[in-house]
Amino acid sequence: MDFADTIRGLLAEQPFLLAPMAGVTDAAYRIMCRRRGARLAYSEMVSVAGLAYASNKTWRLVLPEDEEPQICVQLFGSKPEQFAAAVAAVQERVGDRLTLIDINMACPARKVITKGEGCALMEAPERAEQIVRACVGEARVPVTVKMRTSFTTGERTAPDFARRLEAQGAAAVAVHGRSAKQLYTGQADWSIIDDVAHAVDIPVIGSGDVFSAADAVRMLDETAASGVFIARGTYGNPWIFDDARALACEGMPPVVRSYAERLGALREHLGLTHRYLPLMSRARTYATWYLKGMPHAAAWRGSVVRCSTYEEFMALIDEIEADVSTCR
């Protein structure tokens, strides 16, 4: 089976993908985006070492909920043998709903790269090759890799790096247009997407500075990317997937969501978090994203961070709705 063609087919149906984001793309977040056009969604970054120790907390990151038809699982680590074992375990637990295994070679977080994981693997291409080879040898689904322009700012090692991983069986690569040293500062360089696409025969997914539906469509139009990862552009805007597809296919501009619709979505998101997660603490972050631009948003953000329970969050939304109605 040509797994590269499998990925091409998936991207032809919906090229705009919910990117894996540590601390963000839990089941509640994925379901919010799935209901609004994200056909392919990724887990948070999952430690292969954590899976090796059979941590329930780690497995909670992997397993999709009943409403989810599929999941792409992103793994990180530095030991090929742990990757192989993780792939086998994930396939067994997730079953037919596993779409692909993605290997994180892009994370720039200090606690990750100091262990030789994430984007540090771009500085160790032979180890990266071993990891891909180990995963491909075990996988019954496509194995893909997410990378950056390079580890060090000013270098452009991604094209050669991608070629090496393609030779080991990677079915696609995603490229974020920044170096590890840049973290998320400055402007993403989308030209690296073209450089990588011209270096390999497998599909390339573009990533970096996609903050709106228009950005997503522009990346697809202006680069050789076959698909687009949307990460921070989903913050408070789970509709971005339907909007981007409508804009790309029909030229329809994104709908401006009313305060009422945004608060309704926030209620929905809070309900999903209450149902699927053990704690409501994550809601303190994403709730503020939905409130951006609303009357008295700064004051309401201050109230959000003091909420601890589902009931407290919902009572606060009642107050915000009443305030917005009065302001109108």
Measured CA to CA, the distance from residue 122 to residue 128 in angstroms comes to 7
17 forms beta bridges with 229
Let me know if 107 is a catalytic residue.
Answer: yes
Q: Are 89 and 59 in contact (CB under 8 A)?
A: no
Report the sign of the C-alpha dihedral through residues 41, 178, 234, 56, in that order. Answer: positive
DSSP string for residues in 260-296 = HHHHHHHHHHHHHHHHH-S-STTHHHHHHHHTTTSTT
Both tokens of 3, joined, read: 């797994």
State how far the alpha carbon of 123 is from the alpha carbons of 76, 119, 266, 319, in Å. Answer: 15, 8, 41, 51
Report the sign of the C-alpha dihedral through residues 83, 88, 90, 91, in that order. Answer: positive
- What does the angle CA 242 – CA 14 – CA 118 come to, to the nearest 5 degrees? 105
Among 107, 119, 135, 307, the active-site one is: 107
- What does the angle CA 89 – CA 31 – CA 213 come to, to the nearest 5 degrees? 115
Catalytic residues: 107
